[in-house]
Structure 1
């Protein structure tokens, strides 16, 4: 670490220019990433429902339309004028580039499910020839601009995967701009109060901004080989600016300390080691999300690794070069006078000594208070998102509400089953048993239509395409909301029939159930990854057995407290108007909470390392645990609080988003890191370290040798 710093100090200008050039070139490619991002990614590609979807698509030509258009004629949809208007619209769409084919209520045999229950609205389905994200987005925008929201007296509503992708991309792009316009000036103000000078305050902000620009390039690279969620950008900007500022804050603060003490610039390498190790810890923790099958969650692993890498690179390469060039001019443009002397008996030291003097009382009272917050999370219900994450006034949300209110939703969201290897008798028996299940309205198969075990074979010719010789297709119409606990139960009941042949159960309800199961199955592995890797890294950093265990348990307390707050807000609806309004869905998005948990766990380790590095320095100088904690907290408390405030300022503006899950991300991470940096670090850590005494630093001799050999402890 020191050799790297010395090399940078010898060639500061060349180092800085090279870094800026690389970031600039990366930004040119990276800023093209937006059209390539996806809005879905919640399904498990290895699940039974995904295998059923693949077979239906490849063997039965069941290629779902990317865009669904609802035409509200304000008259009977079967009126010849309505049909003529639809044909006119189809001709308009067919004349555009990138269109494979268009289906309508009329071309599909006037199926009742394709017409509204009041008879005045009907569907048009558009299938694209190129379904890559960028092409699909461009084609959808072209159709929307061509038809508008009204066409010859008919109201036009857009829904489906393509419309959702466009709506989310546009909303998140606007949200990011708004969030950054709030976060950047507030961060600068906070940093001015921390450092007292505009120059010193501006450096962390610049490093954070450069980190974001560079990170876009790595996300763009990822899109070339895999699907990446558009939501990854929210994490990238929040963490990019926040971590870049945090790490730079630590470097600049240590630099100023050492210069005031008359030491050379190279002493900043001490803080650099802490930053490097902190970045490694955060990267390892966020990388755990790559274990999930859903690319929505894996996307955050890509974003987390990229943004942490850029934040560390900026703090350890660009910043030392700038500090070398500036020297003591880093304190230029002073607007607030900050004391040039450091005291080990300040407010933070006094607080820690008070806490340690009353360790048991502080521990009991603090945990009791947090226990009340944790209790709120006991009623948490988890699910997955749908279009209701957008504002109720958003065009696609309005279209989706029309679907719910005026169309038979169960007709458009059936259970789809692929059957292979069944004899005629086995197939007939299975269809009959399926039709007798609760909430199954009817079953469509090559045999005809089956209701309550009785089959009407007269419509069988309509479903002749359901048998391709190798496999048979079954469509089971039901009367429950597909993306709900009732839909999960229905899927379980269908699969419980367990016939003596292959029957792959798919459809929206099955996809929803499989997605939740996919998360639940991988979650223990993710938890194990985080717990074990964190323990190993913290042990190597501290040489202690107890301190890593304490860190993991205290982080768990922070996460459970955060779950309590999110349940109170997003499930119970408190503070709804204060946060700009959002639609209550009856559940907390499981994927987004996992993201919040993983990110806050990693960021909490940041503050743990900042604090422990200072405490350990004092302990290695021979001071008692009480004095080490007091001095360590005094020297790091201000920086940890400032870092937490800056990170909170970078995530909290996300509550202005029109997307409710982004609101949850911003509020959840901001609350968790502020709680961790104040209550946990200032109260619980000193209290526990006082109670543990010398045991804080204990480890078996053979393990101590491993830590010493690794050379990470300092």
Structure 2
């Protein structure tokens, strides 16, 4: 692989103006594609093959007006005023009457007609049934909803909204996290390289890659449903991977420059050596993200594919645009800044790393790890194990009003309904009852009567009729995220035959709450399968990369420890509320799709660091054939770069934890913790300790193994040897990069 990447690096460096022009055209084309198509993301989730989705399909066929999203309207009065008093009741009736005039409203239920007024008469619940799904409700319609509620608010009423769709339910992620992440990354790169140009190039290339990736996703969103969280995920991965991949190649190039290799020769050599690790790492991330499709859930598949696309663009930019820009930069990547307090320090650090790596902090850490390998193994595994303990109490679910920021209208509506009526009124179940073959006139009443007798049912109400269907609302006593509500859904499905016995009726359990429960169950079922796929993939890819079995096994064990420790930290903070005020989170359940996404991403990112660290160790081992020395030297060469890369990813992910979004915040938090643990505890501590403990046997493989497993030379050892031979012969111009 290295010889082909060497040729690519040499080509793009020589044709740098053309390469730059191509990427500028691609960026302009992607922006034009997004603007021209006008694609928008959505927050609606569908899971084919579930009973809740079958209920939606039945409604679309026979009662299409009731197949759309529902919005709950919550009215509350201040002080001792009651909603039944003349002025508040008139305002409420006026609001509900105007909501009936919405172009996309199929049905509007007045709280006084439905008798959904709290016992203290301080809160009233109304609802709006839309004729379209949440993603199809227009911004104009939601803006009109806010306008209709404004006079009632001005009159002193509190008017809040919740449900599948409501004003502000698609709150956009602000630009602040990206700015903070980029600023932090630039600071880390400036410290790492000690040169402004070297620090700026990875930022520039990553931004171009992210621009192409995000605009491409928005363009695709006009043709397929793209979850709103997909853009945030693609942005986080595109930005962090883009900077890291450029960092790996640029650090190798700058190392070559300091050693005295001319820039024209150093660029293709850096692409051929570090570029091999970038390709392998990126492909691993891409395959893992594409593997999310094994769950068979459309929105998760789209999230994986769009994020994989962003990583693919980041890889291509690092392999082509970065070398082209390095060609423009020439020797300026080694033009060091001179800090006032430590003049000449950056240049001294670079020269020590190039000529005397045994004097570096990385080498000191390598010596420490190899000397105390057994205590560090015990301590590291113990720390990760303790952090993983909360995973045993994980509770999966999807976002509801309770998980929204406390300042949001959905959270306020949730609290008002819970206090005044009970938590179950925030997530009623929709029982779609088919009376086409009913044997009696009172079949619907019989079914409703039997539903009322079920445990954990607070209320049963009729919700509409049409074309042989009767809609029945079943209100649980527990909230939509409570495990008791999930048990109720399962019981109503299991007891279906007894509930409809003698009526000739049939029913399906649907609605937003049931759909969320079905989605969580489907994801929980897919998780073991996906974990097996990821572990098997890791074993194959890393075996091919390093041509040994023990390295992949150590990597997989470390990856599993990192993932479960990160998920454990997420459960402790978001589910148990430990440090919730510090992180500004609302205590809630764990997102049902978070574990499977974290598995995919942490697997890919951990493979990045594994490949970069172990490839340098293997490179040293091929020269010294000494296990301890190769670990120390390999860590010395990789520690600074891996530390910078991990801190950049950590900074980018931490920046997104400031977003008040119930999906983005826990995802960013878990990724930040996972990257930190995996890079510093697993890849720079546990893996080198294991390699030092096992010794030269770490690289053993039988003879038949060498015949069937290809040697991709991702370390670029053969490439560097050929380069050194040509340099010694003083004919570098004849070097062709073939091996």
TM-score by length of 2: 0.84
Contact 1:418–1:504 (8 Å) recurs in 2: yes
The offset of 1:603, in angstroms, is 0.9
Which residue in the other structure is 2:308 paired with? 305
Who is 2:721 aligned against? none
Is 289-298 or 226-235 further displaced after alignment?
289-298
Corresponding residue for residue 733 of structure 2: none
Shift of 1:77: 4.6
Instruction: From 391, 398, 402, give the equivalent of 1:384.
Output: 398
Distance in 2, matches of 1:640 and 1:259, equals 20
Cross-structure match for 2:9: 5
Q: CA deviation at 1:659?
A: 2.7
How do residues 452-491 of structure 1 correspond to structure 2 at under 5 angstroms?
466=465, 468-469=467-468, 474-491=472-489
Shift of 1:278: 0.9
Per mean C-alpha deviation after superposition, the further-off stretch among 16-25 and 375-384 is 375-384
Q: State the partner residue of 1:157.
A: 160
Q: What residue number does 1:344 align with?
A: 357
Q: Distance in 2 between matches of 1:52 and 1:101?
A: 18
Look up the match of 1:224: 222
Residue aligning to 1:246: 244
Distance 2:22 2:70 in 1: 44
Q: What's the secondary structure of 1:227's corresponding residue?
A: coil
Residue 413 of structure 1 is matched in structure 2 by 428
What is the Cα deviation at residue 160 of structure 1?
2.7
1:690 pairs, out of 672, 686, 692, with 692
Q: Which moved more, 1:376-385 or 1:516-525?
A: 376-385
Match of residue 611 from structure 1? 613
Q: 1:568 aligns with which of 565, 572, 579?
A: 572
C-alpha deviation, 1:427, in angstroms: 6.4
Q: Which runs of 5+ in 2 are unaligned?
A: 340-345, 717-739
After TM superposition, the structure 1 = structure 2 runs for residues 349-428 of structure 1, keeping only pairs within 5 Å, are 349-407=363-421, 410=424, 413-419=428-434, 424=439
CA displacement at 1:276 relative to structure 2: 1.1
Q: Contact 1:443/1:475 (CA < 8 Å) preserved in 2? A: yes
284-293 vs 87-96, which moves further: 87-96
Tell me what 2:524 maps to. Answer: 520
In the aligned structure 2, how far is the partner of 1:130 from the partner of 1:516? 24
> Residue 540 of structure 1 contacts residue 712 of structure 1 at CA under 8 Å; is this kept in 2?
no
User: 1:168 and 1:473 mapped to 2: Cα distance?
Assistant: 28
C-alpha separation in 2, matches of 1:64 and 1:666: 31
C-alpha contact 2:361 2:636 (8 A) present in aligned 1: yes
Q: CA deviation at 1:105?
A: 0.8
Distance 1:202 1:467, change over 3 A: closer
Query: 1:234 deviation in Å?
Result: 2.2
Contact 1:94 1:102 in 2 (8 A): yes
Q: For 1:497-524, what per-residue CA distance to the aligned partner results, in whole angstroms no more than 9, with x for missing partners?
A: 2528854333445333312210122112
Task: Please tell me whether residue 288 in structure 1 is matched to residue 286 in structure 2.
Answer: no
Distance 1:10 1:279, change over 3 A: same
Q: Judge conservation of contact 1:46–1:293 (CA < 8 Å) in 2.
A: no
Q: Does 1:317 align with 2:328?
A: no
Counterpart of 2:55?
Answer: 52
Matched residues in 1 for 2:314 and 2:619: separation?
Answer: 25
Contact 2:428 2:474 in 1 (8 A): no
Q: Secondary structure in 2 aligned to 1:505?
A: strand
Structure 1 residue 528: Cα displacement: 2.0
Q: Deviations over 1:352-391 (max 9, x none)?
A: 2332233223212322233332334433333332122322
Higher mean C-alpha displacement, 28-37 vs 388-397? 28-37
State the alpha-carbon separation in 2 of the partners of residues 557 and 491 from structure 1. 34
Tell me if the contact between 1:644 and 1:677 (Cα under 8 Å) persists in the aligned partners.
yes
1:439 is the counterpart of 2:422: no
Indicate the residue corresponding to 1:535 in structure 2: 539
Map 1:24-63 to 2 at 5 A.
24-30=28-34, 36-41=40-45, 44-60=47-63, 61-63=65-67
2:646 match:
644
**Structure 1 Cα separation of the partners of residues 650 and 165 of structure 2:** 33
> How many matched pairs?
683
Provide the C-alpha distance between the structure 2 equivalents of 1:666 and 1:35, rounded to a whole number of angstroms: 25
Q: Secondary structure at the match of 1:578?
A: helix
Q: CA deviation at 1:22?
A: 0.9
Structure 2 residue 224 is the aligned partner of structure 1 residue 211: no
Tell me the distance in 2 between the aligned counterparts of 1:647 and 1:671.
10
Answer yes or no: is 1:18 the counterpart of 2:31.
no
Counterpart residue number, 1:195 = 193
- Displacement of 1:124 after TM fit? 4.9
Q: Secondary structure at the match of 2:292?
A: helix
Question: Contact 2:214/2:235 (CA < 8 Å) preserved in 1?
Answer: no
On the 8 A contact 1:707/1:713 being kept in 2, the answer is no
Offset at 1:25? 2.5
Q: What is the alpha-carbon distance in structure 1 between the residues aligned to residue 608 and residue 157 of structure 2?
A: 56
Instruction: Provide the residue aligned with 1:495 in structure 2.
Output: 493
Structure 2 contact 72–128 (Cα < 8 Å) conserved:
yes
* Kept after mapping to 1: 8 A contact 2:293/2:304: yes
Which residue number in structure 1 is paired with residue 719 of structure 2?
A: none
- Looking at structure 2, the residues matched to 511 and 212 of structure 1 have their Cα atoms a distance apart, in angstroms, of 33
Q: Could you say if the C-alpha distance between residues 689 and 537 of structure 1 is closer, same or farther in structure 2, counting changes exceeding 3 Å? A: same
Q: Give the equivalent residue in structure 2 for 1:510.
A: 514
Indicate conservation of the 8 Å contact 2:606/2:675, yes or no: yes
Distance change in 2, residues 1:270/1:477 (3 Å): closer
Task: List alignment gaps of at least 5 residues for structure 1.
Answer: 446-462
Rounded Cα–Cα distance in structure 2 between residues aligned with 1:554 and 1:611: 14
2:166 alignment partner, SS class = helix
| Cα displacement (A) at 1:307 | 1.4
How big is the shift at 1:542? 0.9
Helix, strand or coil for the counterpart of 1:36? coil
Please give the alpha-carbon distance, in whole angstroms, between the structure 1 residues aligned to 2:465 and 2:697.
Answer: 70
2:72 and 2:162 in contact (8 A); partners too: yes
> In 2 relative to 1, CA 142–29 (structure 1 residues): closer, same or farther, beyond 3 Å?
farther
1:36 and 1:133 in contact (8 A); partners too? no
Aligned counterparts of 1:33 and 1:474: Cα–Cα separation in 2: 40
Q: Tell me if the contact between 2:95 and 2:148 (Cα under 8 Å) persists in the aligned partners.
A: no
Change (3 A) 1:349 1:438: same
Question: Residues 396, 384 of structure 1: CA spacing in aligned structure 2 closer, same or farther, 3 A cutoff?
Answer: closer
TM-score normalised by L of structure 1: 0.87
When residues 39 and 378 of structure 1 are mapped into structure 2, their CA distance, relative to the original with a 3 A threshold, is same
| Distance in 2 separating the partners of 1:405 and 1:32 | 47
Structure 2 vs 1, CA of residues 332 and 128 (structure 1 numbering), >3 Å: closer, same or farther? Answer: farther
Range that drifts further, 323-332 or 428-437 = 428-437
Which range moved further: 12-21 or 293-302? 293-302
